[in-house]
Amino acid sequence: MLKLTDVVTYYGPIPALKGVTLEVNAGEIVCLLGGNASGKSTTMKTILGIVRPHSGTVEFEGKRLDGLATGEIVRRGIALVPEARRVFGRMTVWENLAMGSFIRRKAPASEIDQDIERVYTLFPRLRERANQYAGTLSGGEQQMLAIGRALMARPRLLLMDEPSMGLSPAFVDQVFDIIQTINRQGTTILVVEQNAAVALSIASRGYVLQNGQIAVQDSAAALLAADDIRRAYLGEDQA
Ligand SMILES: Nc1ncnc2c1ncn2[C@@H]1O[C@H](COP(=O)(O)OP(=O)(O)OP(=O)(O)O)[C@@H](O)[C@H]1O
Ligand SMILES: [Mg+2]
């Protein structure tokens, strides 16, 4: 479904990605692991066209994406839940969700309402807070809103950049349960995480980025079992 081949991305003179090759098949949850500054967010931004690759190709459903504008990439079926859950703080929960459907401006209002209803079913807390300003939500609630807003674009592939960041363990479990539900409902997922154990527990496969390159790739089960890999690449002291 998604295929990156030898992707090289620079910021000014400095390469952040030095030839990344990875693949996500339809229906999968794949996780992209790696320490700080290894290039995880840059990979997400390159897929979405927020930064342009210097060389290499990004293909989605058999067609090249690299070089296209972000809006066009979203229209083709990819949405991003950004790092640090950037919601529109001065808009209400409902307004944030409605903004998420901007690429479907021509869709009838009833269809948008139906999709907002779907998000409220996944996250009942957002329904309770529909008219609250997003900036006043708790961190966990903002993460739910960021995920809900991305779903409003009806993506076939959802990119998630560190959905567990800053959340308490109970909230992390809840968010990962919902990620699984979204996947079962038919959305393919590529999730970036530092929290390797939680991400691998719901993923089928994983890649480990190190210094802009894929250092390891394997099944989630094998990566979960490989304490040495997690120590070497992810800075974990122990499992
Ligand atoms: N806009 C930018 N301009 C210049 N350098 C950047 C920019 N964004 C990222 N970088 C650099 O690219 C490298 C990779 O950054 P990236 O954000 O992809 O890492 P990451 O793996 O997501 O890290 P983290 O776990 O801290 O979020 C870092 O060295 C970073 O400083
Ligand atoms: Mg990052």
Q: What is the pLDDT of residues 10-40, one digit of tens each?
A: 999 999 999 999 999 999 999 999 989 999 9
Number of domains in the chain: 2
- 165 and 69 share a domain? yes
Instruction: Find out whether the beta carbon of 48 lies less than 6 Å from any atom of ligand 1.
Output: no
The best mutation among 38, 190, 207, 234 to test binding of ligand 1, ranked by most ligand atoms within 8 Å of the C-beta, falls on 38
- 70 and 91 share a domain? no
In a domain? residue 134 = yes
In angstroms, the CA 24 to CA 140 distance is 27
CA 130 / ligand 2 centre spacing (Å): 29
Report which residue type is found at 89: G
- 65 and 117 share a domain? no
Burial of 228 (0-12, 13-18, 19+ CB in 10 A): exposed
Query: Atom 28 of ligand 1 has which residue's CA nearest to it?
Result: 37
The neighbourhood of ligand 2, an ion, using CB within 5 A, equals 40-41, 83
The tens digit of pLDDT for each residue in 48-91 reads: 999 999 999 999 999 999 999 999 999 999 999 988 778 999 99
Domain that holds residue 232: 1-76+157-169+190-239
Closest CA to 23 of 205, 172, 173: 205
- 220 and 114 share a domain? no
Which pTM was predicted? 0.92
- 33 and 45 share a domain? yes
Q: Which ligand is nearest to the CA of 82?
A: 2
- 71 and 50 share a domain? yes
- 163 and 68 share a domain? yes
Angle (CA) 126-130-135 rounded to 5° is 85
